[in-house]
Amino acid sequence: MTTVPASPAATASTPRLRRLDLSATDPAAVAERMALCRRGASPDEGVRSATRAILDDVRARGVAAVREANAKFGGGRANGLLLVERAEMSAARDALSRDDRSALDQAIANVRRFAEPQLPATTRTSIVEGIEIERRWRPLDRVGCYVPGGSAPYPSSLVMTVVPAQVADVRSIVIASPASADGVVHPVLLGAAGLLEVDALLVAGGAQAIGALAFGLSADATGDGGGAFAPVDRIVGPGNAWVTAAKLEVAGFVGIDLPAGPSEGMVLADDGADPVLVAADLVTQAEHGPDSPAILVTTSRTLADAVEAEIGRLLPRLERGEILARALAVHGRIAIAPDLATAIAFVDAYAPEHLSIDVRDPEAAADAIRNAGSIFVGPWAPESAGDYATGANHVLPTGGLARACNPLGVEAFGRFSQVQRVDEHGLAAIRTTVERLATVEGLTAHRNAISARFRE
């Protein structure tokens, strides 16, 4: 693809972000843009195949398979126990520091405030006299929330998945989350689970955790004193490629929210943006892992150079600078557009999970965007604010699925049923239509179910 040279001022230690010229029309340029925009959220077949084997093992052998997978891939507790007792979660809640408790309380309150108006309503519609149809909303009975972990704890993801489930009035909410490399569940994660009074916490990660949520675990095998771990009705929450692959595989057994894969960050900025803020926002989502894309879309080469230089100064000061450098080296991009309209068109085609907008008229740009999971408008709206405490949900569609999927919301924790009420007058009003269409389709039993009711 046609590339734009990196800044000559860049030092050897500055991450070199591949530059894309959005005005280029040669076939290679168009093909690379198409590959970026139609990247997909589904992991490759190698991961899918290996995930399938783990899930088959968990389904067949239950607890033994989960423990063996934890030992092989990581995510298990040092003592081997899978279930955390309610008493342990309550104790962790009570042991939270004042600052941690205050932060969790505010995040929970804000997420709840945003979620409550989302509660779907039951509706009743009169079609004709004698026919009334109800679209009835009901919460799910049991939901499993996957909370990433291992290299870092994510109590924020626990809040984002559990709170809307509570607003929906789900009867039973369980968590699955891996322990750290030394076999410990982070105390703030445990405290958040205790604060929200989740029903159970399964200590497992990856495909084995998704398998346990989907297929359940028998009471006599857990050995944890927690009784059976029953299958859930739907699995929600973000995760790595293995979690995403596992959710796709079990979708025939349980519901899933969406295949939320590696986190993505995109920044749309013009020459009026502050390169320090743009650089800070650009690397935010790449901090999650080396497979996370970070893309700057800008109309200004000067800003592009300044942002790249600022990233070089910023990374050495960050704890996960090495992960960020790997992510930016492989998945970092700076797309140079000839004008704002072209830049917005590329953003829309890419359909990012997170989009920060820092242009002169950010509201107009935000209005023009059709495809993005979560949009952050203006220089005072960093993506990290939404990840923790604005109240918006941070479980978002990735891989371009923002073209078709929603952020996680209350509606994911329930479903609608149709209730049809028909009396004699109503059926008579549609009798001819039903009988005729059934005859056209050759379904005479369908037709008979109508005519039998009107026999003399």
By DSSP bridging, strand 294-298 and strand 131-139 are: unpaired
- Asked about 353 being catalytic, the answer comes back as yes
Quickly tell me which residue has 């239509």 as its tokens: 433
Q: Which of 354, 383, 394, 435 is catalytic?
A: 354
- Asked about 354 being catalytic, the answer comes back as yes
Ordered DSSP codes for 107-156: HHHHHHHHHGGG----EEEEEETTEEEEEEEEE-SEEEEE---SSS--HH
Q: Which of 308, 353, 383, 435 is catalytic?
A: 353
Residue 406: count of CB within 10 angstroms of its CB: 16
Measured CA to CA, the distance from residue 72 to residue 203 in angstroms comes to 14
Residue 214: count of CB within 10 angstroms of its CB: 25
- What residues pair up with 374 in beta bridges, in sequence order? 354
Do 392 and 384 form a contact (C-beta atoms < 8 A)? no
Measured CA to CA, the distance from residue 392 to residue 169 in angstroms comes to 19
Cα-atom radius of gyration of the chain, to the nearest Å? Answer: 25
**358 sits in which H/E element:** strand 354-358
**368 sits in which H/E element:** helix 362-368
**Would you please indicate which residues are annotated as catalytic (active-site) residues?**
353-354
